[in-house]
């Protein structure tokens, strides 16, 4: 990652657009450690960005670890050492990328100022929610409890887990109560943090 920070030539990084996970991750790196990244936006999805990378149109891309370890062309990339891993967004290193630093480690290394670190944490933590299931505001607590219990039962079902394994889908659920707490923590930010996040998405 140090090379990206110190390079004079700004690498082009493919992205689907503002607000996408790849764009957010690169923006976090730009704001916190001074990584120089030129966003090339407008790609329909990760498959198209991957093709652009193979053609040399872009030099980098961001995607979820689940995507990378579950389908082509990324499985081939892994087996042929086609790419280098620069950073990962989790709070802890994924065992499959044990040599790749997390954003939090990089912020420690580059001594990111407290306010920028809080901006990064707020942006990054929301990405850890993956695809949350939500109920409409005002849903009775009893109904919420029933829905949460049903969800917890499904994600422990042997048939569901077997199908997920066959499809190379990782099942790492958060309970509803945990997710509610995480969301409240991320949303509770001082005005200066909110303003800085807003500016990151203004083109």
pLDDT tens by residue, 147-162: 999 988 998 899 988 9
Q: Are 86 and 4 in contact (CB under 8 A)?
A: yes
Q: Mark whether 93 and 43 lie in a shared domain.
A: yes
Segment 45-95, tens digit of pLDDT: 999 999 999 999 999 998 888 889 888 999 999 999 999 999 998 888 999
- Residue 23 is predicted with a pLDDT of 84
Beta-carbon contacts of 87 under 8 Å, excluding residues fewer than 6 positions away, are 1, 25, 29, 100, 101, 102, 103, 106
Euclidean distance between CA atoms 112 and 174, whole angstroms: 29
Q: What is the mean pLDDT of the chain?
A: 86
- Phi-psi label, residue 32: left if phi above 0, alpha if psi -120 to 50, beta otherwise: alpha
**Is omega for the bond preceding 73 within 30 degrees of 0, making it cis?**
yes
Q: Which residue has the higher pLDDT, 171 or 131?
A: 171
Q: Mark whether 52 and 98 lie in a shared domain.
A: yes
Number of domains forming the structure of the chain: 2
Output phi, psi for 8, to 5 deg: -85, -25
In a domain, 180, yes or no: no
Q: Which domain holds residue 45?
A: 2-129+187-200
Q: Mark whether 164 and 76 lie in a shared domain.
A: no
Euclidean distance between CA atoms 55 and 22, whole angstroms: 19
In a domain, 135, yes or no: no
Q: Mark whether 101 and 196 lie in a shared domain.
A: yes
Segment 14-32, tens digit of pLDDT: 999 887 878 888 888 888 8
Q: Mark whether 149 and 94 lie in a shared domain.
A: no
Indicate if the alpha-carbon torsion angle 14, 19, 22, 26 is positive or negative. Answer: positive
Give 166's pLDDT tier (boundaries 50, 70, 90). Answer: confident
In a domain, 164, yes or no: yes
In a domain, 181, yes or no: no
């Amino acid at each position: 990652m140090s090379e990206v920070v110190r390079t004079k030539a700004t690498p082009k990084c493919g992205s689907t657009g503002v607000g996408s996970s790849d764009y957010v991750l690169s923006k976090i790196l730009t704001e916190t450690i001074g990584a120089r990244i030129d966003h090339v936006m407008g790609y329909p999805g990760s498959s198209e960005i991957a093709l652009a990378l193979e053609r040399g149109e872009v030099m980098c891309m961001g995607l979820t670890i689940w995507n990378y370890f579950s389908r082509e062309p990324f499985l081939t990339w892994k087996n042929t050492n086609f790419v280098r891993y620069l950073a990962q967004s989790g709070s802890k290193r994924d065992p499959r990328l044990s040599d790749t630093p997390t954003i939090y480690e990089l912020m420690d290394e580059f001594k990111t100022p407290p306010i920028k670190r809080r901006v990064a944490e707020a942006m990054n933590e929301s990405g850890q929610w993956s695809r949350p299931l939500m109920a409409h505001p005002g849903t009775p607590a009893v109904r919420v409890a029933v829905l949460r219990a049903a969800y917890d039962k499904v994600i422990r079902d042997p048939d569901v887990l077997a199908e997920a394994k066959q499809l190379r889908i990782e099942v790492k659920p958060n309970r509803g109560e945990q997710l509610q707490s995480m969301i409240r923590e991320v949303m509770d930010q001082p005005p200066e943090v909110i303003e800085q996040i807003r500016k990151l998405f203004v083109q």
